[in-house]
Structure 1
Amino acid sequence: MEHPDRIFLRDHVLSAEIGAFQSERGHAQRLRFNLTVDLRDTVAGAGDHVDLVLSYDVLTQAVETALADQRYNLVETLAERIAAEVLAHPRAACIAVTVEKLDRGPGALGVSILRHRGRVAATGVAAPVSILLHAPGAALPEGAVVILPQVAAEPTGGPHARRLALLALDRAAWTLGGDLAVEVAETRTELDAAIQLCQPVIWAPTRLAMDAEAAGQTPAALAFWLAGRLGAGRIDVAGPAADPLPTVPDGLDVTVARVVPATA
């Protein structure tokens, strides 16, 4: 049996904050990445044209995208995310991913996984997606839409104010999910799955956004942050027509529109 053609990335070392222990929070540690990809087609037919092969940049970008997406407790989860990123490309058939922590012991500690195309959910969003800042009485849209309740958290001070604000949004999300009989998502994988099925999903933001200070803590700020992550083209804001619409951050290509709820 012939072995498939392969490309690889070896001994790629980056620093990132990762880990489930409290001692690992707030401190970057070195991670070493090794990726080997079995190609669907032989490179013999590429004719020395770079556009006809799987670029090595796909491997490095998969690592960078996964690290930028969220803070991870487990290297296992990070490895899965990297595998899904690479296998979203049609020229990739199978991938082996090894992620090692270099600063947690006398040697390298890590995980190796092997994933095949078709057995891992790709992370690329196949359907257009919008975001709805929900208010009571707002109609539930059809298609791929991420719903975020507009709830103003009670003002608090201290080092845990942002966490409390996000947890208030989580509580509102789960309550709204029960009221509307709509699934609630906490992870990027759950969001991507709903988007690929072209169905609405309510986002409970704490798990994804807690360690991303740039995400902010208000519904509008979180909506813009998530729009950038998902490539959402539109944010609908439910509320009275007289209320001002949030300003789109510089560099974000998204349309903001008003939705007037039936009870407004």
Structure 2
Amino acid sequence: MPDIIIGLILGMVEGLTEFAPVSSTGHMILVGHLLGFQGTDRASTFEVVVQLGSILAVVVVFWKRILNIVGLYKLPEEGTDGQKGHLNALHILCGMIPAVVVGGLFHDYIKHKLFTANTVLIGLVAGGVIMILAEVFRRARPKATSLDQVTYGQAFSVGLFQCLALWPGFSRSGSTISGGLLVGMNHKTASEFTFILAVPMMVAASAKDLYESWDKLSIHDLPLFITGFVTAFVVAMLAIKYFLKLIDKVKLTPFALYRFAVAVVYGLLVL
């Protein structure tokens, strides 16, 4: 299959699934397996490149909020909601610490032992169960209905749930949105916090992987990488905006059922 076609397919998969609670890593592994594009340094580096395309989409969609967090932009509505503070860099740090520690300790094991179709199927099912439980036990009256109402404790709790996403198939979005619901955020706030939290996490992880893979890059891979990066960026931009409108209406349960269906169909067809 031509590189550009592979780049288009996997770029679309990455863009559609990175910020939906269905596990982009899981889908990339499963689709890559079907395309025969896996298990090589080239494939691993490509996954990093397309993730950067998705990260850029978040930066573009939330650029005002991100600049506000780092103190380079003042939001007009800041301080008008009666809260003592607003979302800042310490919230993001609280959300990052658990996964940074756990991911750093078990990085090699995760990278070399868990990136298989079998572990992804387990993660899809287990993550779907957690999402349904989050809907069942979420607070009827959320305490945080906007990003500026998120507390440091809530941010840290979401960070603990993010550790689940280190297992391929669990989904960063699925884990953190579920955690947000359980600690008192509404669906939209949990989703927005998840997307913004993903930026430093994914940039750090992608930069590390890209640095380690730099000597394996080839000029001949540019069409594949550029196609995947651009496709992931464009599709992720559209997916983020649509998902934020959708999540308040449909909640997490339909995504959980989709995960179960994917696990069953893929298991029957391939395993």
TM-score normalised per structure 2: 0.31
Greater percentage in strand: 1
- Whichever of the two has the greater Rg, that structure is 1
Of structures 1 and 2, the one scoring higher in RCO (CA 8 A, sep 6+) is: 2
TM-score normalised per structure 1: 0.31
